[in-house]
Amino acid sequence: MKDCLFCKIINGEVPSYKVYEDDYVYAFLDIANDVYGHTLVISKKHYNNVIDCPARSLGKIITSVKKVGDHFISLGYSGYNIINNSGASAEQSVMHLHFHILPRKDNDGVKVWKELGKQTKALEDIAKELYFEDEKTNTIDYSKYAEECDVIYTDGACSGNPGKGGYGGIYIKLNGEAEEFSGGEDVTTNNRMELMAVIVGLEKTAENAKVKVYSDSAYVVNAFNQNWLTNWKRNGWRTAGGSEVLNSDLWKELSTIVSARDVEFIKVKGHSDNILNNRCDQLATAYYK
């Protein structure tokens, strides 16, 4: 951001005493110079705080924060404090995501924790008020479904046809890491959402990659496995009966993406016992529900 102090430090517009830098964070000594080695670790991309930072990005930032703290341990410190304030009410003074790291030694005389007083409400009552369950929590171990190539599961759904629709998918890399994705449109069809799921999924893979696409859509799978797409292209994007191929804009886009990869399309039974297909359906329907 133009007027953000920390953005200016990252860009070199304001001087700082750098101690570490990687793709995700920039770490430098706090100008307060109150505790020896007091370090600020700030995100390179501007987020106001933890509240508006996406979980995936925050995970990478936290990994870098730990790397800085562990470096202090390697220098002979026995511990470190990590402090973060998110939001003005939490006493955040600079609205750019950052963490304070304080290297610590036994009996160093530093007191970080304040006396915060005592609550009058019982912990049992507070727990009832604050407790929540994350209905979106996904406990599937996607690494079990990794193969010798990239794997993509997809599904599309529509409330009304046409109507409000969504698509969902799971991209599983060779190393077992996985990424869920979803999206949708307010006015669309089920077939368009099936196609969009495959397009978005394949765009996440590298060119020349070997990929298996699992879909419950015969419309998608048969177009490739039964040479419908080849015939449509040869006929100028017209069917054997001479009519224009429906969704030709998406078919053309998908055809281009597939031509740059080694893709195998595999039909799975929908709304059955396929865990990953069912998860894709949840992601797709969540858009319009």
Active site residue 141: no
The DSSP string of 94-116 is SSS-EEEEEEE-TT---------
Of the listed 156, 168, 184, 201, which one is catalytic? 156
Kindly give, in sequence order, each residue whose CB lies less than 8 Å from that of residue 36, ignoring residues fewer than 6 positions away.
103
155 tagged catalytic = yes
- Any catalytic annotation for residue 271? yes
Strand order in the sheet with 39-43: 18-21, 25-29, 39-43, 98-104, 79-83
Catalytically annotated residue among 155, 166, 169, 184: 155
CA-closest candidate to residue 278, choices 189, 204, 265, 286? 286
Q: Is 135 exposed, middle or buried (0-12, 13-18, 19+ CB in 10 A)?
A: exposed
Spell out the residues 6+ positions from residue 94 whose beta carbon is closer than 8 angstroms to its own: 4, 5, 6
The answer to whether residue 156 is catalytic is yes
Distance CA 217, CA 154 (A): 9
**What span, in angstroms and rounded, lies between the C-alpha atoms of 165 and 185?**
6
Find where tokens 């740059």 sit: 260
* Residue 273 known to be catalytic: no
> Which one is catalytic: 38, 69, 169, 194?
194
User: Could you say which of 100, 150, 184, 281 is catalytic?
Assistant: 281
184 is catalytic: no
DSSP state of 148: S
- Which residue in the list 69, 168, 169, 216 is annotated as catalytic? 216
Which residues are designated catalytic?
A: 155-156, 194, 216, 271, 281
